[in-house]
Structure 1
Amino acid sequence: MTLAYRTHYGQAFVGDSRDLLRGLPDDSVNLVITSPPFALLRKKEYGNAEQHEYVDWLAEFGALVFQKLTPDGSFVIDIGGAYERGVPVRSLYPFRVLLKFVDEIGFSLAEEFYWHNPSKLPSPIEWVNKRKIRTKDSVNTVWWLSKTAWPKANVANVLTPYSERMKKLIEDPAKFYTPKVRPSGHDIGAGFGKDNGGAIPPNLLSFPNSESNGRYMAGCKATGEKGHPARFPGRLPEFFIRFLTDPGDTVLDIFAGSNTTGEVAEREGRRWLAFEERRDYIAASAFRFADEGTDLVDLHRRIMAGEKHVFEQRQSRMAL
């Protein structure tokens, strides 16, 4: 295992995640959250398998993840959709992945989530922009898989703020609503209007993916790096890290890319591991943990040269 850098809570490694996973103890990771290269028709620079190969390829990682998860651990996969070649018909590969992981590896589907990216540009161009026969594809499927039927989870950690109308209702329920049985049969009883600290979130998560500044992007600009072309927003791993883990638990991203997951896990007080095959991506991801005034060009050069880096000054602040 080739260590690129470490922080107070985490470590980033360069290498094939399959080899790196084999080096971990079984039952040692609480949450694996990742966004693997999607099975797109066009070949991307970050390396994506052809659709017909994709399911078996991803299952190699899935079988290893299953071994390394704690009994109450979870595997969260952000997996984007695609069209079949030459026709406006959706590929079923995300569902084939799910079935293989459940039927053959042994995972349980705890719940399916959908991430809506409102800032995504209209695509695919052929069917949406040119022929205008399909709508914009702006939703990714996120499978929440678990090793057993009872994974660790606490929705109280991810409650969303009440709307202004709901706040008024809680203040004086009788003024705005009379409890009664709904047409669905649900009995809205006297407990309605209780302040629980927030609303239970739905399984549709709407987070824009439009970051254009921050330490990572500033570092890429300073060093001339393009940055990872398929980053997900920090709020996506943040939701699942808070929902499915406790402080001190271990979080792993097996396709770390720009290491958004590690940055969020560090902030949330979780131990983390980042596995990434491309050293240039790992080197650039170190910008996320650099203090102001750090020579980013030198930092990048040293990690690219294979030197291990320890973020000592930033550690003490993040540990507080």
Structure 2
Amino acid sequence: MISEAVYRTQYGSVYCGDSLDLIDELENNSVSLVITSPPFALLRKKEYGNEEQSEYVEWLGKFATQIKPKLKEDGSFVVDLGGAYQRGKPIRSLYNFKVLIYFCEELGYHLAEEFYWFNPSKLPSPIEWVNKRKIRTKDSVNTVWWFSKTENPKSDVTKVLAPYSKRMEKLLEAPDKFYSAKERPSGHQISMSFGKDNGGAIPANLLQISNSESNGKYLSMCKKMKIKPHPARFPIRLPEFFIDFLTDENDLVVDIFGGSCTTGEACEKKGRKWRCFELNREYVANSIFRFLPNDYSDKDASILYNKIIRGENIGEIVSKQLNIF
């Protein structure tokens, strides 16, 4: 039996259920990118569910094993994992690095590149070691593993160029005033082409993205309806970076731990086909706020939310000017 989407948009669809079952329904060699942030192996249990550190690698490995044949040959699997401490000790867990090794050495993935997401707005934690005893610094960097099915996944860094620094802008205006073409002591050969304007700078694998959204459409609607939003959302700029970098328009992107469906919103903006899988029906219900056209009133949004909570499927979301339900 093929699962029915809880709701659909112009480009994508959201499904409520166990990802292991929903992944099976994807066609083999059909997915260009899986990008997801699974529940981390934290010591404190979260309301959305998270696995013990000792069981985490094999648990996540089940999803990675199942999704691999669904990826296109040039497809990618990007996983955001937050760090953690060992229970009762001021020393770090290695679970996120064990995931990396397990995926590559046991499941046959390739590590295309490691990324680090620096969230400058993250609160100091853990309280015991950082706030109370003051023996550790604030943990504000997540590891983001870019896995690939083959050694040459599709990617194009020119689609994610960063703005030039002020100094580089000045150099581009008059390269001769800033440097001369020659071999540097490091052995690097710097030619005059270094002063060519390529439209932006090649980005680093350290992604500085603040996770401090406070007034977006999703949070605004949750607040109006007195609904608790998903507590562990990643900022939309994170999936946007990898969607731009690793896919083209109309490619299929999947988030197997969809949460409030930030990935889906990013894909909708970028013109990518997408699917989000989420086990918790309440999170599925409030994720619809991301996609409602502007002509939906708060009352209309509430009607749809409650229909989903009751177990109904909505169908395609379109402007009410075109579809009165």
Counterparts of residues 98-109 of structure 1 (less than 5 Å): 98-109=100-111
How far did residue 151 of structure 1 move? 0.1
| TM-superposition CA deviations, 1:23-49 (whole Å, max 9, x none) | 111111000000000000010000000
Query: Residue in 1 aligned with 2:232?
Result: 230
Distance 1:153 1:314, change over 3 A: farther
Query: Residue in 1 aligned with 2:303?
Result: 298
Query: Residue in 2 aligned with 1:271?
Result: 273
In terms of mean alpha carbon deviation, does 283-292 or 142-151 score higher? Answer: 283-292
How far did residue 4 of structure 1 move? 1.0
In 2, the alpha carbon distance for the partners of 1:179 and 1:130 equals: 54
Contact 2:29-2:69 within 8 A present in 1 as well? yes
Matched, 1:286 2:292: no
Query: Residue in 2 aligned with 1:204?
Result: 206
How far did residue 103 of structure 1 move? 1.1
How far did residue 314 of structure 1 move? 8.7
Counterparts of residues 66-81 of structure 1 (less than 5 Å): 66-81=68-83
Query: Residue in 1 aligned with 2:38?
Result: 36
In 1, the alpha carbon distance for the partners of 2:162 and 2:144 equals: 19
Contact 2:236-2:262 within 8 A present in 1 as well? yes
In 1, the alpha carbon distance for the partners of 2:159 and 2:120 equals: 24
Contact 2:209-2:235 within 8 A present in 1 as well? yes
In terms of mean alpha carbon deviation, does 182-191 or 28-37 score higher? Answer: 182-191
| TM-superposition CA deviations, 1:112-157 (whole Å, max 9, x none) | 0000000001111111111111110000000000000000000000
Matched, 1:144 2:146: yes
How far did residue 306 of structure 1 move? 2.3
Distance 1:273 1:162, change over 3 A: same
Secondary structure of the 2:183 match is: coil
Contact 2:293-2:318 within 8 A present in 1 as well? no
Secondary structure of the 2:268 match is: helix
Contact 2:30-2:72 within 8 A present in 1 as well? yes
How far did residue 261 of structure 1 move? 0.2
In 2, the alpha carbon distance for the partners of 1:118 and 1:8 equals: 34
In 1, the alpha carbon distance for the partners of 2:286 and 2:66 equals: 27
Query: Residue in 1 aligned with 2:319?
Result: 313
Secondary structure of the 1:74 match is: strand
How far did residue 213 of structure 1 move? 1.1
Contact 1:32-1:253 within 8 A present in 2 as well? yes
Secondary structure of the 2:285 match is: helix
CA-based RMSD: 1.3
Q: Tell me which amino acid in the other structure corresponds to 1:213.
A: N
Q: What TM-score, normalized to structure 1? A: 0.96
In 2, the alpha carbon distance for the partners of 1:66 and 1:20 equals: 14
In 2, the alpha carbon distance for the partners of 1:221 and 1:290 equals: 16
Counterparts of residues 85-96 of structure 1 (less than 5 Å): 85-96=87-98
Contact 1:35-1:77 within 8 A present in 2 as well? yes
How far did residue 293 of structure 1 move? 4.1
Q: Percent identity?
A: 62
Query: Residue in 1 aligned with 2:113?
Result: 111
Query: Residue in 2 aligned with 1:131?
Result: 133
How far did residue 175 of structure 1 move? 1.1
In 1, the alpha carbon distance for the partners of 2:182 and 2:224 equals: 61
| TM-superposition CA deviations, 1:76-107 (whole Å, max 9, x none) | 00011100011111000011111111111110
Contact 1:72-1:151 within 8 A present in 2 as well? yes
Q: Tell me which amino acid in the other structure corresponds to 1:81.
A: G
How far did residue 272 of structure 1 move? 0.2
State the 4+ residue runs in structure 1 displaced beyond 4 angstroms: none
In 1, the alpha carbon distance for the partners of 2:141 and 2:40 equals: 13
Secondary structure of the 1:113 match is: strand
In 2, the alpha carbon distance for the partners of 1:181 and 1:128 equals: 46
Contact 2:281-2:309 within 8 A present in 1 as well? yes
In 2, the alpha carbon distance for the partners of 1:66 and 1:314 equals: 39
Q: 2:21 aligns with which of 16, 19, 22?
A: 19
In the comparison of the two structures, how many residue pairs are matched?
316
Q: Tell me which amino acid in the other structure corresponds to 1:296.
A: A
How far did residue 192 of structure 1 move? 1.4
Q: What TM-score, normalized to structure 2? A: 0.95
Contact 2:109-2:150 within 8 A present in 1 as well? yes
In 2, the alpha carbon distance for the partners of 1:206 and 1:117 equals: 6
Distance 1:189 1:314, change over 3 A: farther
Query: Residue in 2 aligned with 1:218?
Result: 220
Q: Tell me which amino acid in the other structure corresponds to 2:312.
A: E
How far did residue 307 of structure 1 move? 2.4
Contact 1:7-1:311 within 8 A present in 2 as well? yes
Secondary structure of the 1:226 match is: coil
| TM-superposition CA deviations, 1:36-87 (whole Å, max 9, x none) | 0000001000000011011110000000111110000000000111000111
